[in-house]
Structure 1
Amino acid sequence: MNVASTASSPSAGPRWLYLHGFASGPESAKGVALAEHYARQGIHLERLNLRQPSLEHLSLSAMMRTVRDAIGGERDRAIIFGSSLGGLTACRVAEEDARVCALVLLAPALRSPEQMRRNVGEQGLRQWQETGWLETTDYAEKRKARVHSGLLHDIDTIDSRSGGWPDVRVPTLLVHGRQDTTTLLSYSRTWAHGKRHVRLVEVDDGHELVSSLGRIASLADDFLRPFLVPPDEKAGPR
């Protein structure tokens, strides 16, 4: 289910969606803070539940379907914020779905299989593949959890379609912390290099980016300024 969903029409402008990261949820600190920030501007930032079909059987394909469904109909449009694995999901949807107008990526999990393998280590990877399960922390429910190895296969399959790097063509703001040890900044630098439509901003922060929420909101406001101007102001004086 999506949280706090509201109806929208093409004339009302694009939907604004927030995609949380791995083992997180719609009530993540970044998602809540950004939703509150945009609510003060009269914008509803819908925080999707990407624990699809469940955290235990997490699937990137299912996460992407959830996002596409949330965008709405054929004539609807969306601005997507994505954190970590949610950032990768946002990229994968944007490269296939012309309804996406712009992206704001927060420490996106680019080349996620490589980053996951580095994080769990060789022994952890073998155990994940042999037993079928990865033991992890469910940050949303504050408990121990496990994730099926099908997630790795699913991401590998989707990555293989584009050589591992998402082929995103829409305007993109990418914010990444220099102290991030979960999703390395070097991947974001490589992906953003030479792309005029991608703006990479490096901040002195870790993966959670909790110390940079104010700056992220300010950067996003500037980047998304065309979508923040009321339609009657865009039209100019009559």
Structure 2
Amino acid sequence: MIAASPHYIYLHGFASSPRSTKAQDLRDRFQALGIELIIPDLNQPDFTDLTLTRQLQQVSALLPADSTPVTLIGSSFGGLTAAWAAEGQPQIQRLVLLAPAFQFLDHWLPRLGAAQVERWQAEQYLSVYHYGEERSLPLNYEFIRDAARYPTAQLRRPIPTLVLHGRADDVIPIQASQQFAAQRSWVEMIELESDHALINVSEQIWITIQRFCQLKP
């Protein structure tokens, strides 16, 4: 019996899209090896009602009906989504997390400030700049309520996990990934000389992914 080819799925970050620089770069690199990189649009059906739970449902719907192994590659909030998807989906056998948004609310809410968060809760919607759409869009406060149900400390499934994080990341501090990796022996962490976008280290990221996923050129 011939084993099914593994599936590779890329999850873009918060307020991003499948058209992001990292998504397109990795799609082209996988394509050069004759491998399809599936890149769902996690903004669908709309950004306003986005939640982590909804993203997890989208990932679940993408998984093959058989036992084909899946590798998830996630960027920022997509990395957090990938980690949580792997907790409950045995088909997911490997994770590559790029500047994953561990402890997301602990970092994001203080940046907004208490007054703005309180106003958001009262009014139910906050205007957020969406980089994929290049415009501001409303986001429901349910996004916050839902995200609070997913504490990073509860991510405990021991599968091969690669974390790449920039030392100069001012969105999700590298300490979040350092702490995550230090508490989980199955996690390999690589620190990069970059910021949250990781654009300047795309070649280094690809070489590391090739090695970790055993992709042959």
TM-score normalised to structure 1 length? 0.86
Quote how far apart the aligned CAs of 1:145 are.
1.2
The unaligned stretches of length 5 or more in structure 2 are none
Equivalent AA in structure 1 for residue 67 of structure 2: R
Equivalent AA in structure 2 for residue 66 of structure 1: Q
Partner of 1:193: 182
Question: Cα deviations across residues 150-208 of structure 1 (Å, max 9, x unaligned)?
Answer: 0111111233xxx6442231101100011111111111111100422111111111111
Partner of 1:170: 159
Measure, in 2, the Cα distance between the counterparts of 1:154 and 1:67: 17
Match of 1:149 among 133, 141, 144: 141
Between the two proteins, what is the percent identity of the paired residues?
A: 30
Partner of 1:116: 108
Equivalent AA in structure 2 for residue 183 of structure 1: I
Contact 1:71 1:77 in 2 (8 A): no
Quote how far apart the aligned CAs of 1:52 are.
4.0
Match of 1:184 among 140, 154, 173: 173
Alignment of 1:33-182 (within 5 A): 33-159=25-151, 164-182=153-171
Quote how far apart the aligned CAs of 1:11 are.
3.1
Q: Which moved more, 1:102-111 or 1:66-75?
A: 66-75
Quote how far apart the aligned CAs of 1:87 are.
0.4
Quote how far apart the aligned CAs of 1:123 are.
2.1
Contact 1:53 1:59 in 2 (8 A): no
Measure, in 2, the Cα distance between the counterparts of 1:129 and 1:174: 33
The residue matched to 1:56 in structure 2 has which SS?
coil
Runs of 4+ in 1 over 2 A off after TM superposition: none
Partner of 1:30: 22
Contact 1:107 1:207 in 2 (8 A): yes
Question: Cα deviations across residues 80-120 of structure 1 (Å, max 9, x unaligned)?
Answer: 00001100000001011110010000011112221221221
Q: How many residues align?
A: 216
TM-score normalised to structure 2 length? 0.94
Measure, in 1, the Cα distance between the counterparts of 2:119 and 2:26: 37
CA RMSD of aligned residues (A): 1.7
The residue matched to 2:39 in structure 1 has which SS?
strand
Measure, in 1, the Cα distance between the counterparts of 2:82 and 2:156: 11
Partner of 1:4: none
Measure, in 2, the Cα distance between the counterparts of 1:187 and 1:146: 28
Mark the CA change 1:133 to 1:184 in structure 2 (over 3 Å): closer, same or farther. Answer: same
The residue matched to 1:117 in structure 2 has which SS?
helix
Contact 1:102 1:172 in 2 (8 A): yes
